[in-house]
């Protein structure tokens, strides 16, 4: 993006760089290509991880990542990024488990409250008395 001094000249400067690149100026060619094809910052990582459905699976996935660094299949930076992904997934598993436990506790509490209310109602009902006796 050009600032005030070159605002009116952006098209001319761009056209000049393109013309220089066409004539073989390697610096101009590199500048043009950098604008047309941005360099890829990250490459896909080819690493097979075990399925992660539990904390035990996450431990195995982390072990696989560490082994991949040890055998130079991954760089430490790639391993750190994969570790963050596994860590995020583990946190999601933890939250899901806490939510499941909380729901179970709430259901048990509601059931106990209903039983307690019912017992209180039964205690309040007057006892039925029968009069037996002579007529």
Q: Is 89 buried (19+), middle (13-18) or exposed (0-12) by CB count in 10 A?
A: middle
Domain ranges of the chain: 9-36, 55-124
Q: Residue 11: which H helix or E strand, with range?
A: helix 10-22
pLDDT tens-place string over residues 39-78: 667 778 888 888 888 889 999 999 999 999 999 999 999 9
pLDDT tens-place string over residues 69-85: 999 999 999 999 999 99
pLDDT tens-place string over residues 1-35: 555 555 678 888 888 888 988 999 889 888 888 88
């Amino acid at each position: 993006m050009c600032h005030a001094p070159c605002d009116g000249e952006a098209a001319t400067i761009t056209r000049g760089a393109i013309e220089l690149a066409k004539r073989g100026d390697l610096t101009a060619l590199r500048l043009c290509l950098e604008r047309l094809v941005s360099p890829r910052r990250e490459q896909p990582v080819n690493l097979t991880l075990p399925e992660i459905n539990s904390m035990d699976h996450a431990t195995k996935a982390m072990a696989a990542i560490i082994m991949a660094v040890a055998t130079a299949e991954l760089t430490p930076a790639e391993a750190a990024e994969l570790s963050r992904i596994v860590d995020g997934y583990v946190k999601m598993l933890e939250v899901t488990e806490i939510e499941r436990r909380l729901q179970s506790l709430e259901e048990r509490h509601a059931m106990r409250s209903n039983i307690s209310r019912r017992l209180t109602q039964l205690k309040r009902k007057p006892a039925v008395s029968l009069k037996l006796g002579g007529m």
